[in-house]
Structure 1
């Protein structure tokens, strides 16, 4: 005799199936995001040496390659991959706030993810001061969105999980991925989806570990502030980093919203030539820096931290200028790694006033201060820097510097760069037919 099922039993089976299917989507998505992050990281590691090879032929070749590369990247973005410009984090934030399926798909989709990867690598190949971590967030959100098409009601949580998994896999910093998802992407702790987000981050992290191995992004560092006078570097870095980060954000936000007057109208009418001009400005910054400010800045900062050798005195300001021009040009590329490099340069400049203090410790203070000033997410900033350097002895000074930088940055720029830019994407998506 076949067993019979009551209505209650059938409902319980349906609920169990739906729960397992939802969990499977988050886990499979996390694995896919982790694999995509590793692939992008390895491709980026090939793109920068390829650009260095061109530099070895002639360092002045950038006067042609970089502006023309920016122009072509901007053209492809506008014509083939709209909404792939910039870091990609504002698009992921905006997609969470939208309710229309088509509007979300205009910001996060497999098509945009493919374009984001290709054009971010192209930006590195032509010398742009861009990073791959922000683009990994949009790629992660796009992958999760695609997997979640079977359950549109769950897509805001899936987009959040994809973004958090992207940060975790890109930096090999699982805790920072979770904190980023809570502090920056959602600005709230959502108990209903927190477990699934953590599961996606774990899946992405394990995939990254399996494919790339366990590593600290900037290597391991045991440096700390040894003397009482060294602690004065905390407020100094916090104030300088906060001011510089706030100014950077304010400029990028103003350019994204469109500046008023004839200049603003010219830029809007000729975006490709503006991208060309920005590329030329990046090339000039690179030549003035002795070819040190191209790309992410990762190698320069890692070498300085490992060897205890200061960066060039003008590295911080020139990297800041190169990153600003890249960010306002309209080409795809992130600001995570370049911002950390700018902060490292600021830290080196501050360290020149503290002769007996360990250089690496003050570089970390500069990194966390400038990054917190840009993104105005102090918890994410100090967690990322702590995990990237495997230095838990600097947790307290990093926390203090990040909080000071956040407060100072708010005096210059009232809103964090990602959420301010996200509002523009939301407005454009809702206006589109």
Structure 2
């Protein structure tokens, strides 16, 4: 026989459990700290890239020395002391959440030490002008902070490490993009595959607190501003489908190329990379510098500012922008430096949308650029819900919900015919490597 809840009895039970309230306070404190770390990372990354741009505008040819040298230094430090900080950060969290990974090996992928290293080395990547984003790294940064809370919780606490990692990863995405809804969807679609009832409150609370910290620092601003979309009708159907198909095919090929390169498939270049990783990084940095000079600086950095200016109608992209931005993003990741691909993927997608708009109807340029961003990001990550919500929240594009959703879903479907999900492939490779390698974990006092 079902009984209605007794409010006063439940209230007394809640208030009598003083230790659970202490645990909650600890988690809330760490959620705020995670937001502060992401905000600090954002400010430092923006400052570092501004310094790079200053060097580039004063002495353009200096990047032919500066970028390769700093890329080689970052790769050497990462390989020598912080191998778990290399790359995006999202595969590391997926690996840490994998049931196949022994709990004592989680320190290889997430810890407070790696959080600090990710920030410093990630900022270095921006200072070098590499094609990196800070959103993927923000996931590892925030998760590293959140999981550290476990050492202060009571032994009987229902908040486990998996819940803390998931909450931290979601909070990292939400704070980095100022997109709280995307953080929730990201936790479900990319990290866990489902949202357990007991973890839901923790995840949402972490997103809210870290998001409040970000909003307090930067204001309630959208990532790419507010786009001005003209009234849309059936004239968008043909070009929109074309953008989704092109983005899906390009994103699938890009994802497959990244997976092959980063998992060390046997070929001449990966053999050279394995034998001389620092020299390989220097060569990659030189290639990035040369392409940046050829494109007059358009391919340096994450590409966010370039997309902002394109959406505002201030500049025009080269028809080859998407291709060249994809190349420098691939080379950057292949060099083994810490840095994400979310923001560069959005920039590549914007370039694809711009090309289609020029061929079809320039008056639809803004809408097609937004659809290209959602489509390419969905194709690379094969997480269409996260992709379209991120773009919708970043451009305040609520009037384009159906268009963005359709583009992301179709592009993801095309990508699945070409490649496996990128983050899943990288996470499985990391887990297999960690399980087969000799035990090496972070010291307990650094987790």
Smaller-chain TM-score bracket: over 0.9
SS of equivalent to 1:170: helix
What secondary structure, in the 3-state scheme, does the structure 2 residue paired with 1:357 have?
helix
Question: Partner of 1:67 in structure 2?
Answer: 68
The yes-or-no answer on 1:333 pairing with 2:339 is: yes
| Structure 2 residue 270 is the aligned partner of structure 1 residue 264 | yes
Give the one of 251, 264, 267 matched to 1:245.
251
Distance in 1, matches of 2:105 and 2:397, equals 42
TM alignment of 1:153-172, pairs within 5 A: 154-172=160-178
* Separation in structure 1 between the aligned mates of residue 25 and residue 284 of structure 2, nearest angstrom: 44
Shift of 1:261: 4.1
Question: Within 1, Cα distance between the matches of 2:142 and 2:54?
Answer: 31
Residue 416 of structure 1: aligned partner: 421
- Bigger shift: residues 351-360 or 365-374: 351-360
Q: How far apart in 1 are the matches of 2:230 and 2:24?
A: 42
How many residues align? The count is 423
Answer yes or no: is 1:427 the counterpart of 2:432: yes
Specify the alignment match of 1:392 in structure 2.
Answer: 398
Q: Where do residues 51-200 of structure 1 align in structure 2 (5 Å cutoff)?
A: 51-97=52-98, 100-151=102-153, 154-200=160-206
In the alignment, the residues of structure 1 paired with residue 256 and residue 26 of structure 2 have an alpha-carbon distance, to the nearest angstrom, of 38
2-side partners of 1:377 and 1:124: how far apart? 26
Alpha-carbon distance in 2 for matches of 1:147, 1:343: 38
Structure 1 consecutive aligned stretches of length 4 or more whose deviation exceeds 4 Å:
12-15
Distance 2:324 2:369 in 1: 17
Residue 369 of structure 1: how far off its partner (Å): 0.7
Whether the 8 Å contact between 1:225 and 1:357 is mirrored in structure 2 is no
Q: Is the 8 A contact 1:35 1:211 kept in 2?
A: no
Cα distance in structure 2, aligned partners of 1:214 and 1:186: 28
- Quote the Cα distance in structure 1 between the aligned partners of 2:347 and 2:412: 18
Gaps of 5+ in 1: 1-11
After superposition, give the CA deviation of every residue in 1:37-59 in whole Å (9 maximum; x if it has no partner): 11111111111110011112222
Which structure 2 residue ranges, 5 or more long, are not aligned? 1-12, 440-447
- Compute the TM-score of the two structures, normalised by the length of structure 1: 0.93
2:375 corresponding residue in structure 1 = 369
**Backbone CA RMSD of aligned residues:** 2.0
Aligned residue in 1 for 2:5: none
SS of the residue 2:221 aligns to: coil
Q: Which deviates further from its counterpart, 300-309 or 36-45?
A: 300-309
